[in-house]
């Protein structure tokens, strides 16, 4: 199992990312592709041993607001593709989703803090990233201007 950062600590990942259309949904502890999840929503009902992952071009609106899994992973096809930040923000601030939002794909140390601010709380780092050293980059800024998932009130409401 790979290690991930979750809530600021290094822990062993409890999920593997499943890819392709012919995923066997009976296997537990998988992050299912969005299409597989949507097709099997009824069959998966009541289970809490799976998660779903979305690619950066997949609209989080497809999950609708009755999200019934505990882990949603958002894939970064490239570290400089910023779409997943908006997806995480919508999940947290529009849908009030409180489960885990995991960053997967090209996840690098210097973007972790931005991800946290948008609502990510778990990170499976890209290959070659130093997970221990990355812990130092989770909190670089002690204040911020905008209303975000981690600080719902903008600075001006507390000034």
Partner 1 sequence: MTSTSALSSLLTDPSFIDPTNVFFTIIHRVCCDTPNQTAICPQQTDIGQRYGSKPKAGIVGRFPSQDILMYQYDAYDQKMVDERVAQYRDQTERFLAGEIPADEFQQLRLRNGLYVQRLAPMLRIAVPYGMLTSEQLRKVAHITRHYDKGYGHFTTRQNIQLNWPLLEEVPDILEELASVQMHAIQTSGSCVRNVTTDQYAGSAKDEIEDSRPWAELLRQWSTFHPEFNWLPRKFKIAVTGAREDRAAIQVHDIGVRIVEREGQMGFQILAGGGLGRTPVIGSLIKDFVEQKHLLTYVEAVLRVYNRYGRRDNKYKARIKILVRAMTPEVFAEKVEAEWATIKNGPGTLTDEEMIRAKASFTPPDYESLEDVNPQGELITDNRAFGDWLAHNVLPHKVPGYAIVNLAIKSTGVAPGDLTDEQMEQIADFAETFSFGELRVTHEQNVTLADVRKQDLFKLWQALVEAKLASPNLGLLTDMICCPGGDFCSLANAKSIPVAEAIQRRFDDLDYLHDLGELHINISGCMNACGHHHVGNIGILGVDKKGEEFYQISVGGSADSAAAIAKILGPSFAREEVPDVIETIVNLYVDNREADEAFLDTFHRLGIQPFKDAVYPSND
Binding interface with partner 1 (CB under 8 A): 59, 79-83, 85-87, 89, 93-94, 108, 110-111, 113-115, 117-118, 130, 133, 140-148, 152-157, 159
* Residue closer to partner 1 (CB basis): 30 or 87: 87
Least distance in angstroms from the C-beta of 12 to partner 1: 25
Query: Which residue, among 129, 3, 105, 127, has the nearest Cα to 53 in the 3D structure?
Result: 105
Helix runs in the chain, H state only? 34-39, 41-44, 83-89, 112-118, 131-134
* Residue closer to partner 1 (CB basis): 98 or 153: 153
Least distance in angstroms from the C-beta of 136 to partner 1: 8
Least distance in angstroms from the C-beta of 146 to partner 1: 5
* Residue closer to partner 1 (CB basis): 8 or 152: 152
Report whether 67 contacts 95 (CB < 8 A).
Answer: yes
Helix runs in 12-145, H state only? 34-39, 41-44, 83-89, 112-118, 131-134
């Amino acid at each position: 199992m790979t290690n991930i950062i979750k809530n600021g600590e290094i822990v062993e990942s409890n999920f593997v990312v499943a890819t392709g259309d012919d995923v066997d949904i009976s296997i537990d502890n998988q992050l299912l592709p969005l299409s597989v999840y949507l097709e099997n929503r009824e069959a998966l009902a009541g289970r809490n041993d799976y998660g779903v992952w979305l690619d950066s071009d997949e609209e989080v609106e497809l999950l609708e607001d009755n999200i019934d899994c505990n882990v949603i992973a958002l894939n970064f096809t490239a570290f400089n593709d910023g779409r997943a930040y908006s997806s995480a923000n919508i999940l947290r601030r529009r849908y009030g989703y409180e489960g885990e939002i995991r960053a997967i794909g090209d996840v690098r140390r210097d973007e972790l803090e931005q991800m946290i601010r948008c609502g990510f709380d778990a990170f499976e780092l890209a290959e070659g990233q130093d997970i221990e050293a990355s812990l130092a980059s989770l909190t670089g800024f002690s204040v911020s201007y905008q209303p975000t998932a981690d600080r719902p009130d903008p600075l001006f409401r507390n000034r």
